[in-house]
Structure 1
Amino acid sequence: MSPTPADPDAWNAYLAEGNAKQARKRVAADVLLRDPLGRVLLVNPTYKPGWDLPGGMAEANEPPEETVRRELREELGRDIDLLGLLVVDWVAPHGPWDDQIAFIFNGGTFSDGEALQPHDHELSEARFVPLEKARDLVSHRMRRRLNAAVKALEAGRPTYLRDGATNW
């Protein structure tokens, strides 16, 4: 016989056992942040090749929007207000990695004239670049997500991708 909510200790143990057997997803959260000229902020990570949107991997039990805010504080010393969700992308297992859920949030326009400088060892550089150049600098996987984020921004509604594609 299965435990019931009438026995809270047994019920919680039963739920914890089920929780322990369920899949865990890695979560990444990035931000599309532009300057008044429409250029896109990219960062150059020191721990992997190529440029990327600002953001990173979520910590345990951390909401994706808090991941973006934390990463920008840690890596660029900036607090930003997010203006909404642009992209959710389910990323298939690849290389040594299990699947993940990747988010891109709208960071709006950064109007502070002060240059953004990396504040920790994870980034070597941060700069605003024209969208076309940004597409050339990021990985193929991120390029598809960036393109979807720009389209979502123009359409005024978020989009769901399955491994970077909308035609699933």
Structure 2
Amino acid sequence: MDTAAGDLTAYDRSLARKRVSAGVLFFDLEGRVLLVDPVYKEPWEIPGGAVERDESPRRGAAREVEEELGLTLEPGRLLGIDWTPPRPGRSEAMAVIFDGGVLPAEKVTAIRLQAAELRAFAFVDPGRVSERLTPVLARRVRACVEARNLGVTVCLENGVPVG
């Protein structure tokens, strides 16, 4: 259901709007996390992207994984949610991260990168993700890997666990 702004109540129109993204952490048998190299920006990212209007974060994550990697997989449990404050040129945002589980060898070989979006992928040790990711995304990934290992969900602000 696509909700046009004119269909909203005055109260609803007065509420703040946030950008929402959804990503999925996939792992190999060695516990390394899958990172992707976008063609349209630097540095590397995790599979995922912007959640579209009237789309749930879970559905957005699945859609992005299919578009970017050519894999039709349902995201697993919620690992974490991260609020990032506004910065020059960007509004505040919420990032929702799901567990993609361990990708067996046949799924890794089935990955087909969308050439218009991604140039490469690599499995990286969680302790070394800061070598390829922005600081906030590296913090988010490390916190969500730890949450996965502990069987919990983490609430983050700018990649730092809170609460």
TM-score by length of 1: 0.85
Tell me which moved more, 20-29 or 114-123: 114-123
Q: Does 1:126 align with 2:121?
A: yes
Identity of aligned residues (%): 35
Q: State the match for 2:47 in structure 1.
A: 54
Q: Does 1:67 align with 2:75?
A: no
Measured after TM superposition, the shift of residue 129 of structure 1 is 2.4
Q: In the superposition, relative to structure 1, how do residues 133 and 125 fare at CA in structure 2: closer, same or farther (>3 Å)?
A: same
1:49 partner amino acid: E
- Counterparts of 1:11-30 in structure 2, within 5 Å, are 16-30=9-23
Cα deviation, 1:67-108, whole Å, max 9, x if unaligned, reads: 110001111110112220011011100111111111110000
User: Which consecutive residues of structure 2, in runs of 5 or more, have no partner in the other structure?
Assistant: 1-5
3-state DSSP of counterpart to 2:87: coil
Q: State the match for 1:6 in structure 2.
A: none
Measured after TM superposition, the shift of residue 157 of structure 1 is 0.8
In 2: Cα distance, 1:49 partner to 1:81 partner = 27
- Counterparts of 1:91-110 in structure 2, within 5 Å, are 91-110=84-103
Contact 1:117-1:126 within 8 A present in 2 as well: no
RMSD between aligned residues: 1.8
In 2: Cα distance, 1:111 partner to 1:121 partner = 26
Q: In the superposition, relative to structure 1, how do residues 139 and 15 fare at CA in structure 2: closer, same or farther (>3 Å)?
A: closer
Measured after TM superposition, the shift of residue 45 of structure 1 is 0.8
In 2: Cα distance, 1:139 partner to 1:116 partner = 24
Q: Does 1:143 align with 2:146?
A: no
User: Which consecutive residues of structure 1, in runs of 5 or more, have no partner in the other structure?
Assistant: 1-12
2:141 partner amino acid: L
In 1: Cα distance, 2:69 partner to 2:145 partner = 23
3-state DSSP of counterpart to 1:134: helix
Contact 1:33-1:110 within 8 A present in 2 as well: yes
Contact 2:71-2:110 within 8 A present in 1 as well: no
Q: State the match for 2:159 in structure 1.
A: 164
Runs of 4+ in 1 over 3 A off after TM superposition: none
Contact 2:37-2:120 within 8 A present in 1 as well: yes
Measured after TM superposition, the shift of residue 119 of structure 1 is 2.0
Measured after TM superposition, the shift of residue 130 of structure 1 is 2.5
Tell me which moved more, 112-121 or 27-36: 112-121
3-state DSSP of counterpart to 2:119: strand
